[in-house]
Amino acid sequence: MRVTTKLGCVYGRGARVALASAMMAMVAATLPVAAQESRLAALVVNPDVLGIASVAPKTGSADFAAVGAAEQAQASGGPMAFFEGTEVFGLVDSYYDWYSTKPSGDAPLRNFDTKHNQFGLSLLEFGLAKVPTADSRSGFRLDLDYGPTTAIVHAAEPGGPAIFQNIQQAYMSYLAPAGKGLQFDVGKFVTQHGAEVIEAKDNWNYSRSLLFAWAIPYYHMGVRATYAANDKVTIAGALVNGWNNVVENNEAKTFGAQVVLKPTASLSIVQNYMGGPEQAGNDDDWRHLSDTTLTYTAGALSLMMNYDYGRDTVGGRSVHWQGVGGYAKYVVNDRFAVIPRAEWYQDDDGFTTGTSQTLKEFTLTGEATLAPRLLWRIEYRGDFSDVDFFEKHDGIFVDNQHSIGFGLIYSFSSKTP
């Protein structure tokens, strides 16, 4: 069966690209900045370094060079000073699914956990991140990904999926001294849209929602700015190449805006908008996306709602898609939680899923923390269409697909004990 990714693009598998050298180059590039900042701090605190409070040392040139090298090493703190301010993180994500349709290929509509009756490695991730602060205003983030998940994420990349698929994120950051701090990020970063993300550990359910898979982009390339006006309001803006493209596919750019409101400690509202031409060689027809997420927590119970509406123009004809998802998470104790999710998704023009249809989805997830870094989820999911969309192994198409599976995720972070 023809399997599509976001916005109807057929996906394949690209070659894996080893990028460890790029990661180390980025690490090395940040060291001089940190060294210079530490050196300046040492000069301010200790005027003797400048010779203000002492006479010049009576040593030879070799001794003087040694003293200078020792001072520089002490001021910079050496390589360990860099890692003290840098987070090292990673994860291993594996799964098993059994589908009622017993597909021979990838299961329709599913994202990342697509294989039937086999144990699969979904994602292997390793990363480094330094968050800029008022004391050290430069920063960066680098996420290296391997596995089928990243091949799906980059399937529509105009530059070719094999070129960029192992770099989920790679950007530099600067915190400008404006108010509480205005942060700029330049490079490749994941989208700000949606209630879910690529890493399963940071989602409530294991399988990804219809809205995550079909309504929104995965990533962008460009520049974004974020400003926290106060504890209750944060605003952000972005100028990027477009949806899922490091390499530009036309001459225009896409604009994004975000407002995050937290009126109370238990309620958060996130409103996103993105607009710009997304079709190859077409600078005139704009794609628009409105994305809203509300989250409310009351003790052991958390509720979340996500609504997306998008539209575009294709061949002079307007197309649109929309959907809503509802989540609930009840924490039974510090080791177990129950999470149901229900969705409705309308794709009347077949622009995103490749078929004119309206979809419904229900998921029930049980989550168990087996160890501080080991998460296990068991999950039932049912997908339903108003047309016969799901192909069974015997070639017959039906209007529903059911699955039972589990995900096992190990994750670590140098900032988590």
Is 14 a residue whose pLDDT tops 70? Answer: no
Mean pLDDT of 50-56: 32
Measured CA angle at 104 (ends 103, 109), to 5 deg: 45
Q: What is the pLDDT of residues 259-299, one digit of tens each?
A: 999 999 999 999 999 999 999 999 999 999 999 999 999 99
Is 360 a residue whose pLDDT tops 70? Answer: yes
Q: What is the pLDDT of residues 177-197, one digit of tens each?
A: 998 889 999 999 999 999 999
What is the reported pLDDT for 63?
A: 41
pLDDT band at 164 (very low <50, low <70, confident <90, very high): confident
Among residues 219, 216, 202, 240, the alpha carbon closest in space to that of 166 is found at: 219
Length of the chain: 417
Mean pLDDT, the chain, rounded, equals: 85
Q: Which residues of 382-396 are buried (b: 16+ CB within 10 A; e: fewer)?
A: ebebeeebbbbeeee
Q: Which residues of 310-348 are buried (b: 16+ CB within 10 A; e: fewer)?
A: bbbbeeeeebebbbbbebebebeeeeebebbbebebbbe
What is the reported pLDDT for 76?
A: 53
Mean pLDDT of 353-364: 98
Going 29 to 141 to 176 to 220, the CA torsion angle's sign is positive
Is 304 a residue whose pLDDT tops 50? Answer: yes
Q: Give 104 or 404, the one with higher predicted confidence.
A: 404
What is the reported pLDDT for 78?
A: 59
Please tell me the pTM assigned to this model: 0.81
DSSP state of 341: E
pLDDT band at 57 (very low <50, low <70, confident <90, very high): very low
What is the reported pLDDT for 80?
A: 64
What is the reported pLDDT for 77?
A: 57
CATH 1.20.930.40 is held by the domain 6-413: no
